[in-house]
Amino acid sequence: MIAYLIRRILYAVPILIGVNLLTFALFFVVNTPDDMARMQLGIKRVTPEAIEKWKQQRGYDKPLFVNSAAGGTDQLTDTIFWQKSASMFVFDFGYSDDGRSIGREIAKRMGPSLAIALPTFLIGLVVYVSFALLMTLFRATALDMAGVALCVLLMSVSGLFYIIGGQFVVSKLWHLVPISGYAGGADSFKFVVLPILIGVAGGIGSSSRWYRTIFLEEIGKDYVRTARAKGLSELRVLFTHVLKNAMIPILTGVVVVIPLLFMGSLLTESFFGIPGLGSYTIDAINAQDFSVVRAMVFLGSVLYIVGLILTDISYTAVDPRVRLQ
């Protein structure tokens, strides 16, 4: 297993280089360093000298990939790509275009993102699986049909509607929680309740339908018939046998997203004023802050790879037949 993990980690290096290269190329196809400078410096009284100075101070005055004016290895290292990318492999993200430490910002914003994403994920998982099991329990009945119809209805509604509707009803009409905002520590509770509930509600439709399909597939298998023949109750059959055997497809979809919870949610954070990494990313895209964008893309890629490795490991935990070699 150790050898397998080392191999997977080594595979990650070219993937990350590729992601980095792609991000870099896409960004600079759309924007030039001059564009970035103008975006940062604003409209009023911006002179060509000011643009040059801005680029020079942030290292955007170098060639993109190859510095033909330099000699030796400097041809590759004295370029924007190298200067902005190499340090990321040791998780040194440098500074944003407005001069702030990206590493510090990420560390600071990770907490609020997790405060929303983690409970949403955990509560959501319990709710979706329970609801799916419930529909499976009452399969081919009116209740199952109603459940499926509800799922389709919930899937059809835009995420934005849940947010605005939730804020209107729970915060504006009922005055139960603040409409938006955030506070640290225990005070964060009243600010995160509504985003979590909305996050959970917004995922019920698609997730529960998916889990229902998995459970329905399992419930027709021989071991379920055997369990019933042994006289086990339907609830026991579902929650101990079906659920356990359905874990592989569930884990495939679930474990891979766990590391990505750090990255936050763009829409939820924006509407609820949550100072997390989702809003950090969207702000950076709007401000054309390449330093932050490439850091967040890199971090997202790393976390995704970690998620995939964790998924593989989790298979060994739930299915003894699986061996990582």
Q: What are the counts of helices (DSSP H) followed by strands (DSSP E) for the chain?
A: 16, 0
Binding flag, residue 48, other proteins (CB under 8 A): yes
HSE (side-chain half, CA atoms, 13 Å) at 73: 3
Question: Looking at 59, 150, 216, 283, which residue binds other proteins (CB under 8 A)?
Answer: 283
SS3 34: helix
DSSP structure string for 235-260 = HHIIIIIIHHHTHHHHHHHHGGGTGG
Question: Toward other proteins, which CB reaches closer, 87 or 316?
Answer: 87
Least gap, CB of 38 to other proteins (angstroms): 6
Buried b (16+ CB within 10 A) or exposed e, 202-216: bbbbebbbbbbebbb
Binding flag, residue 8, other proteins (CB under 8 A): no
How far apart CA 322 and CA 99 sit, in angstroms, is: 48
Least gap, CB of 318 to other proteins (angstroms): 25
Q: Which token pair is 254? A: 């679930």
Quote the DSSP letter at residue 90. G
Q: Which of residues 105-124 bind other proteins (CB under 8 A)?
A: 105, 108-109, 123
Binding flag, residue 317, other proteins (CB under 8 A): no
The window from 5-13, 178-186, 205-213, 243-251 that contacts other proteins (CB under 8 A) reads: 178-186
Binding flag, residue 35, other proteins (CB under 8 A): yes
Residue 260: count other Cβ atoms within 10 Å of its Cβ. 16
Question: Toward other proteins, which CB reaches closer, 99 or 253?
Answer: 99
Question: Toward other proteins, which CB reaches closer, 119 or 300?
Answer: 119
CA angle 263, 129, 257 (to 5 degrees): 20
Q: Are 279 and 270 in contact (CB under 8 A)?
A: yes
Binding flag, residue 62, other proteins (CB under 8 A): no
Q: What angle do helix axes 48-58 and 33-41 make, rounded to 10 degrees?
A: 110
The window from 1-9, 62-70, 96-104, 300-308 that contacts other proteins (CB under 8 A) reads: 96-104
Site size for other proteins (CB under 8 A): 65
Binding flag, residue 183, other proteins (CB under 8 A): yes
Q: Give the binding site for other proteins (CB under 8 A).
A: 31-32, 35, 38-50, 53-54, 57, 95, 98-101, 104-105, 108-109, 123, 134, 137, 164, 167-168, 171-183, 186-187, 189-191, 193, 233-235, 270-273, 275, 279-280, 283, 288
